[in-house]
Amino acid sequence: MSEDQANSPREGALAGLKVLDIGTFIAAPFAATLMAEHGAEVLKIELPEVGDHARRLGTPSEAGDTFVWLSEARNKRSVTLDLRKPEGVALFKDLVAKADIVCENFQAGTLEKWGLGWDVLSGVNPRLILLRISGYGQTGPYANRPCFGRIANAFGGISFLSGEADRPPAQPGSATLSDYMAGLFGAYAAQLALRARDRDGQGQVIDVALYDGIFRILDEVAPAFQKGGYVRRRDGAETPIVVPHSHYPTGDERWIAIACTNDRIFGRLARLMDRPDLIDDPRYATNGARLKNRGAVNGMIADWTATMTRDEALKRCSDAEVPCGPVYGIDEIFEDPHYAARGNILRVEDPRVGEIAIPNVVPTLTGTPGAVRWLGPRLGEHTEAVYGAWLGLSPERIADLRARGIV
């Protein structure tokens, strides 16, 4: 490779990939967004006059659509089409013939009801990859039940673990956690399916339940129960298998997270606290002993952190190589120099809302970095352009379809 080639801009890793996003809200659309960030051409297909419900989810912006929509529909081209009508189904099949991936997250059986099941779509395009995200998956006794993120968080097991021990189960940060997890696994699975298609030329169906990703990240909860009958319960800020590993108050009424995942790190913390005696004390010398004396350990650390401001505690822990971090609110994230240095917060100029700050693309690729080219589009903004370029429809034909509510 020449020096000029090495230094020249490269297309996004997924450039040339054609994706049809017919999902709603977060899960499947998020999978499509991840692909759009890395160069895929994603058509967001929405019901005429109505659009994706995510346009109305969250805080309204000056554009009329919410901040959720502007951020999460980034880089997509909005096309209207009514899949409930026979002529809309026919047009969709024409798009499918040219697509690589279809992303959907309707209740199981919905595509089949519209005459767009896998048997039909694969007949149109044998190389197609169909990503299906639904509440309980395409199989099993609960497949036809309605489900949203909060329900999947609860069913997946993470809500039961969230909150204080003496309080009811809490929401694990966000009701949409399971949607984003399912979308992330869906996007990953789509790349696996593309790799398999490169090998044998065949498309396939991806079946992701909304709760699947939640259950997958519960570390040892399943084997610990199966082998020993241990049912993990709510521990608030604690981690049930390691001590100390929690949030501790500071003198300026803030919080610091400290994580001592082994005895060696606890030794560093003990010396930092001027308590080297704890290192050899049988009550605290090992993690197993500290688990039995959790309250005493956490009490000593909380008393120590309360003597300092958060910034002082962070500096002292960092200097001593004790893993620590601030417990941030979003206002503090915006002020943090590390977020700024890594460009985690992306500021995008949009003619509808002016400058808007959104989370930047993840992950960072050095050779083919992802990008945000535009925010969530207006409903049907690209209908004429897409139907003309993809299907060769004339402006008159598109106008007729629009007049009859097909697009």
Burial class (CB in 10 A: 0-12, 13-18, 19+), 354: exposed
The answer to whether residues 256 and 312 touch, using CB atoms and an 8 Å cutoff, is: no
Burial class (CB in 10 A: 0-12, 13-18, 19+), 369: middle
Name the residue among 107, 110, 154 with its Cα closest to residue 135. 107
Helices 310-319, 263-272: crossing angle, 10 deg rounding: 120
Cα separation of 350 and 340, whole Å? Answer: 21
Q: What are the structure tokens assigned to 111, written together?
A: 């595509």
| 103 strand-pairing partners | 21, 131
- Give the residue numbers annotated as catalytic, written as ranges: 179
The CA-atom distances, in angstroms, between 389 and each of 98, 157, 215, 393 are 11, 46, 42, 8
Pairing of strands 41-46, 18-21: parallel
